[in-house]
Amino acid sequence: MATLFQGLYTALITPFKDGKVDERALAELIEWQIAEGVHGLVPCGTTGESPTLSYDEHKRVISLTIETARGRVPVLAGTGSNSTDEAIMLTSYAKQAGAAGALIVSPYYNKPTPEGLWRHFKAIHDAVALPIVLYNVPSRTNVNLSDALIAKLAQLPNIVGIKDATGDLARPYLLRHALARKPFAQLSGEDMTAVAFNVSGGVGCISVSSNITPHACAEVQNACLRGDYAQALKLHDELVPLHDVMFCETNPGPVKYAAALLGKCEASLRLPLVLPAESQQVRIREVLVNLRLL
């Protein structure tokens, strides 16, 4: 199961219009992503503003992504929550809707202990028979999944990988040593270090920048999958300014603004998130122009 989750997965934005999910824009974005060669889609993650989606919206974004993809690429649905019961409910829905797997973020705000984290993920695993990719993003959650805990969780049959957004390039090495021989997909959660992460033992990236340049980001990952890291680095270097500016302010503000410049959606986020400051908007536009995207 782990080999399913490799290559380029786009952490989809959630387009809004008049305060509601813009289903037409989302479906068009998905079609474009698939046509541009992405390997998979991730709705309702951090980039998809999942904390501000209602349960009905969250479920609808997942189901619409699956319906639009029509099996052409796997859908790894974001179903995490700081409530274990809520995460189980969303993961169960994702399975029912036909998701290939669930991306489950560490519980945020609660700040659980390692024992609490173990019980949280095991409860979800035991409740829903669906492949699970752990999502470690301590800058957002204030908790870090340790190598020892990840190795313990990886012994559960349906926990098949991790999205690591720490930017710590020692982690793929250390985790490979900590893990048993079971296949386990390590995916980068940070565009800037995606190639280096793959060299260290990763198998792909769950990308923010691919909302803007899906083909170029997919080509980087294709080169990595071929083992052609010189070509991957060459392609990656061209995207460095984009990766940098996509995090000039809190994600997904910059990527949402960039997508709006490309006509993919309205420049709309839900409070408390806001669009980047005007000075950063100028930077974003300049990068898109320099990459010949505008």
Identify each DSSP E strand in the chain by its residue range.
7-11, 16-17, 20-21, 40-42, 76-78, 101-105, 132-136, 159-164, 185-188, 204-207
Tell me how far apart the alpha carbons of residues 132 and 129 are, in angstroms, rounded to a whole number.
Answer: 9
The letter for the amino acid at 259 is A
Q: The tokens 């037409």 sit on which residue? A: 24
3-state helix, strand, coil split of the chain in percent (to 5) is: 50, 15, 35
Write down the H helix ranges in 108-170: 114-127, 138-141, 147-153
Going by C-alpha positions, the residue among 149, 139, 144, 147 that lies closest to residue 170 is 147
The reply to whether 229 belongs to the active site is: no
Annotation says 108 is catalytic: no
Residue among 9, 93, 135, 257 flagged as catalytic: 135
Catalytic residue from among 95, 163, 256, 264: 163
Q: How far apart are CA 204 and CA 38, in angstroms?
A: 11
The sign of the dihedral angle between the CA atoms of 281, 283, 286, 290 is negative
Active site residues: 135, 163
